[in-house]
A and B are shown apart, each in its own frame.
Chain A
Amino acid sequence: MKKLFCLSCVCVLLFGCAHQMGAIHNGSVAGTAAMVQTQGLGEVSDLQALRSLQTDAGPHNGILAVRSFYFAFDRYNVASQDYAIIQAHAQYLLQHPQKHVVIEGNTDIRGSREYNIALGQRRANAVESILRMQGVPKNQVRTVSYGAEKPISYGSTETAYSLNRRDDLRYED
């Protein structure tokens, strides 16, 4: 499975895939990064962006390796299945008061750029409030919205759009 994963990474890198590949997600795309890794990775064109999450100064064991949370079109409510993961990160931050996290909000490319900055900020704020509700102090969390400026997925398919509607949790030094 791991070999297949690596092989598909290499294929994507070699052939610069910006087009739709593989199965289309049906139904809700608000889910976890695990879904991206097994099904959606073929559609992700900017693997560097994901890679940097996998190698940052934070925990990478088990549920804490999940760093991306996805949103429905024009929405900024966190999916119910993501709560447990975010709460696990909260526990980690409470146990490691020297660690800091930045929540990066993103949107798909459609619409006005600055309005998308505001939407991305709402998405980042949504994850931040879950962390804060768990007692994580303000100085350990910050948010930034990149709006539609840093897509990891290109193209105008619904799959491409859905992969960009997300928050990334990045641990900073």
Chain B
Amino acid sequence: MKLIKIIICVVLLCVLQTSSYAILNLELTKGVDRAIPIAVVPFQFQGNQQLPLDITTIISQDLQNSGRFKLLDVKAIQQTPSNMNNVDFQYWKDKNVDDLVFGKIESFGNNKYKISFSLLNIYKHFKKKSFFNASPVLAKKTYVVTAKDLRKLAHKISDIIYEKLTGERGIFSTKIAYILVTRMLNQPRKYSLIISDADGYNPRAILTSSQPIMSPAWSPNGKSIAYVSFENRRAALFVSNVATGKRRLITNFPGINGAPAWSPDGKHLAVVLSKNGGAKIFLVGLHGGKLSQLTNGWLVDTEPCFSPDGKSILFTSDRAGSPQIYLRDLASGSLRRLTFVGNYNARASFTSDKKNIIMLHRDQGSFNIAIQDLQTGVVTVLAGACDNQSPSIAPNGHMVIYASHDSKNDNGLLALVSTDGKVRLSLPETKGEVREPAWGPFNSK
């Protein structure tokens, strides 16, 4: 039964896929069993020019790829309402649809579009005759945008639908950053730091280099990205403004300058420097440049990550003999080891509720993305079987993006898994090797 559902999802995806080119194409490989059945009716279009973008398809793909919805096949839709008056609730009830989305697009001159949409709950209509007048309308909005903002608006509508129906904030308007490495035969390798929409559209390089770029990290306000660049044949830490491309050098000490992590208030970066010997964690003030050393000793401390309240820092250390995760309280300086399962745990980050950490976890030789419940200590593998690396959590705490090694083509791909392990997506990349994804915050530009 599950297999049939997966096949249906994949077939739906193929049906709904537009012909427009995207570098990263999402392929849902596993969805939740109890997906919400929803119908997204093709938005009615009024205008003499052709619409540059298929908004209905973008919304459908967003909802489909979240794995939380089961979309009614557009071929099975024989009714196409565009306002409340022509909604035949019985028709949708018979199709076992819980919720209905429909809308209207009107084009003006001057490249402007007026878009309205409604989200109805079919079930609520049939409960109307109660003491509380329950309207089936969950959302009804109208917007006016120019052509260049059509895609952004479609994602915003997806976010509204997602939030109304799941209670969770949608991530369809967020951005991701990643490193793209291309190597053509006889050509030197090229490294690029790319920012794209969360679904892979609109990729743009904010830095290209013949030397490695690593560890992209979004600022909490989504306006800047910190990263490591080896462009001068040495490691250096930079922060680039995403909109303007302007950047500033943060550290370029001899040896390691690595693993930048932003404090939640955006005022500090935790970084790794080896200027005093081994790899140690330091705190750099972004206004004033004050440097302070947080960890000591001769063994390796790396991969710092602030807790959501900014009061403590997770980091990887091999002081116990192999990489494990530790937590340092910033106020007291106290140190606590968190991981005791397996002999390699690295690159940890908190889930937004602070109850779990996501990390890279080695189990019997293979590197997996795992989640550890901080109260019970139980470790659950979310994605294994391949060489996996660099997990990054979405700002709603529900999805994790990570890099996966495709051993068949010897290539790096990005993949997504939900923190409950139930939803899996892969993003096939054909133009090169994709590494180190970093999920941007909610208000990322």
Contact = CB atoms under 8 A, between A and B. Distances in A.
Interface of A: 13, 16, 18, 46, 48, 102, 109-115, 117-119, 121-122, 142-147, 149-150, 154-156
Interface of B: 183, 185-186, 188-189, 212, 214-215, 230, 233-235, 254-256, 258-259, 272, 274, 278-279, 300, 302-303, 316, 318, 323, 344, 346-347, 360, 362, 367, 387, 389-390, 405, 407, 410, 435-436
Contacts of B230: 144, 146, 149
7 contacts: A111-B360, A117-B259, A118-B300, A121-B256, A143-B254, A156-B387, A156-B405
A113 B185 CA distance: 25
Given A121-B274, A122-B278, A156-B410, 7 more contacts: A46-B183, A111-B360, A111-B362, A114-B215, A115-B300, A118-B256, A156-B405
A115 B303 CA distance: 7
Contact of B256 (A102, A110, A117): A117
B410 A18 contact: yes
**Interface SS of chain A: helix, strand, loop or mixed?**
mixed
A144 B303 contact: no
Nearest to A16: B185
B231 to A, nearest CB: 12
A76 B257 CA distance: 20
Q: Which 9 A-B pairs have the closest CB atoms?
A: A112-B346, A149-B212, A118-B279, A118-B300, A114-B259, A112-B347, A16-B185, A114-B302, A114-B303
Nearest to B212: A149
Given A48-B188, A109-B387, A114 B410 contact: no
Contacts of A155: 410
Contact of B367 (A46, A111, A119, A146): A111
Contact of A111 (B188, B234, B344): B344
Nearest to B211: A150
A36 B316 CA distance: 34
Contact of A149 (B214, B323, B360): B214
Given A115-B300, A117-B256, A146 B212 contact: yes
Nearest to A48: B188
A16 B184 CA distance: 9
A146 B228 CA distance: 11
Contacts of A156: 387, 405, 407, 410
A115 B410 contact: no
A80 B169 CA distance: 58
Contacts of B362: 111
A114 B271 CA distance: 11
A82 B256 CA distance: 25
Nearest to B347: A112
B408 to A, nearest CB: 10
Contacts of A16: 185
B322 to A, nearest CB: 8
Nearest to B254: A142
Given A13-B186, A121-B279, A113 B436 contact: yes
Nearest to A160: B410
A119 B300 CA distance: 8
A118 B302 contact: yes
B328 to A, nearest CB: 17
A122 to B, nearest CB: 8
A122 B410 CA distance: 28
A144 B188 contact: no
A111 B272 CA distance: 18
Nearest to B366: A110
A113 B214 contact: yes
B238 to A, nearest CB: 16
Name, among B255, B278, B303, the residue most crowded by chain A CB atoms within 10 Å (CB to CB).
B255
Given A121-B255, A145-B256, A155-B410, A114 B188 contact: no
A20 to B, nearest CB: 11
A73 to B, nearest CB: 11
A24 to B, nearest CB: 18
A87 B316 CA distance: 35
Contacts of A143: 254-255
Contact of A112 (B235, B360, B410): B360
A114 B347 contact: yes
Nearest to B272: A114
A142 B256 CA distance: 12
Contacts of B278: 118, 122
Contacts of A119: 300
A118 to B, nearest CB: 4
A36 B123 CA distance: 70
A109 B212 CA distance: 14
